[in-house]
Amino acid sequence: MRTASQPEPSGGIRNVFRDWEGLDREFQQIQETHRVYMQKLDDVSKLQLSFAADIKRHGKNQKDLSRLMEKSRKGLSEEDAKKVDMIKSQMKEWPRALLEMEAFLPKKNGLYLSLVLGSVNVNLPSKSSKGAYKDEYEQFKLYVTVVLLVLASLCLFALSYRFVDALLNFLLVWFYCTLTIRESILISNGSRIKGWWVVHHYVATFLSGVMLTCSCRTPCFLQFLQYYYQSGCLYRLRALGQRHNLDLTVEGFQSWMWRGLTFLLPFLFFGHVSSVRNHPSVSVAAVCFVLLFLGNFSTTLAVVRHKEHCHGKDIF
Ligand code: COA
């Protein structure tokens, strides 16, 4: 209680008291929200565990039933055989559907991610966050490629110093290492990146390490063209609201994809051939370049032939 000798609180301090009360109420509210949030996180992780167990059990039961159906197929009446066929055709879709559901659950990292990141969960919780991560990956490739191109041009035309050359190759080692990690995360989130492209980046990491002892120029322009093609694909698929298997059915997307590929592929194949001619004098690097040439060339051909087969289009 205030005594007579104590002065009246000034207007300023009254405002402080009033604001403090408001802040205090806000803080209590935040604490309550935090409690609810933690509770829900706890519920979600319990649900994830039981959901993952359900999926696993269901997958096993499916296999058991399929085996049983095969065994008891002999001597069935026509009606029963028809019913079995119907069950089979209905069950055919289930494994893919289960896989798609599983893509939204946390899962154990593979060996590489476990070694690099430990046991942290890298599975993104929604389709949009997976898409955003893929976008960011493509942008990352583009931005670092710009930096590499500038640095490589400086090395080539302006600064012929060993230090700048080493910096360029160090950046390449870091870039390719980062790509292998990001690609492993993308694959863990359901991306269909061919194994070769990841292997390519492991080999490129090694190669860049080797090139720290001698100089090399990489075909940056190819990465620009790839960025243009890949970001175009992503943009169109997002605009159509479709991804993966469904994209084969979208006419407009297909014709854009083939136009993009017809433009890109001659440059890619030229880049593959020119990379094999780089540095024949450095034996380790030469082996890597030959390996990269063979892998890039055959994988790109395989991708194009697969697309040609699925889309039934003659591109050349
Ligand atoms: N690096 C990383 N990811 C790649 C890739 C590459 N080189 N090529 C394809 N992918 C990804 C796609 O983005 C797609 O990802 P998603 O499942 O997350 O959507 C997935 O792999 C499947 O793509 P796919 O249908 O096989 O091919 P595409 O139509 O996306 O691309 C090419 C076709 C030919 C343009 C592409 O394979 C390519 O760029 N190849 C040449 C690469 C090369 O030669 N690099 C070395 C020179 S710098």
Distance from the alpha carbon of residue 284 to the mean position of ligand 1, in angstroms:
26
- Helices 11-71 and 94-102: angle between axes, nearest 10 degrees: 160
Instruction: Provide the 10 A C-beta neighbour count for residue 141.
Output: 20
pLDDT of residue 246: 39
Distance from the alpha carbon of residue 245 to the mean position of ligand 1, in angstroms:
16
Q: How far apart are the first and last CA of the chain?
A: 93
Cβ atoms of 254 and 311 closer than 8 Å: yes
- Ligand 1: residue of 127, 184, 192 to mutate (most ligand atoms within 8 A of CB) is 192
pTM of the model: 0.69
Ligand 1 site, residue 232, Cβ cutoff 6 A: no
Ligand 1 site, residue 275, Cβ cutoff 6 A: no
Ligand 1 site, residue 268, Cβ cutoff 6 A: yes
Q: Which atom of ligand 1 is nearest to the CA of 303?
A: 26
DSSP at 74? T
Ligand 1 site, residue 226, Cβ cutoff 6 A: yes
What is the residue with the minimal CA distance to atom 30 of ligand 1? Answer: 230
Ligand 1 site, residue 222, Cβ cutoff 6 A: yes
Amino acid, res. 76: L
pLDDT per residue over 44-64, tens digit each?
A: 999 999 999 999 999 999 999
pLDDT of residue 286: 76
**What does the alpha-carbon distance between residue 265 and residue 299 come to, in Å, rounded to a whole number?**
12
Non-local CB neighbours of 183 within 8 Å, separated by 6+ positions: 137, 191, 193, 197, 198, 201
Ligand 1 site, residue 223, Cβ cutoff 6 A: yes
Ligand 1 site, residue 134, Cβ cutoff 6 A: yes
What is the residue with the minimal CA distance to atom 16 of ligand 1? Answer: 191
Q: Which of 16-20, 54-58, 274-278 has the lowest mean pLDDT?
A: 274-278
Quick one: which of 26, 41, 296 has its CA closest to 304?
A: 296
At residue 125 the predicted structure's pLDDT band, cuts being 50, 70 and 90, is confident
- Statement: residue 275 has pLDDT above 70: no
- Ligand 1: residue of 180, 183, 189, 194 to mutate (most ligand atoms within 8 A of CB) is 194
Cβ atoms of 105 and 184 closer than 8 Å: no
Distance from the alpha carbon of residue 227 to the mean position of ligand 1, in angstroms:
10
Cβ atoms of 186 and 134 closer than 8 Å: yes
Ligand 1 site, residue 230, Cβ cutoff 6 A: yes
Cβ atoms of 135 and 142 closer than 8 Å: no
**What does the alpha-carbon distance between residue 10 and residue 12 come to, in Å, rounded to a whole number?**
5
Distance from the alpha carbon of residue 217 to the mean position of ligand 1, in angstroms:
22
pLDDT per residue over 141-191, tens digit each?
A: 999 999 999 988 888 787 777 788 888 888 999 999 999 999 999 998 888
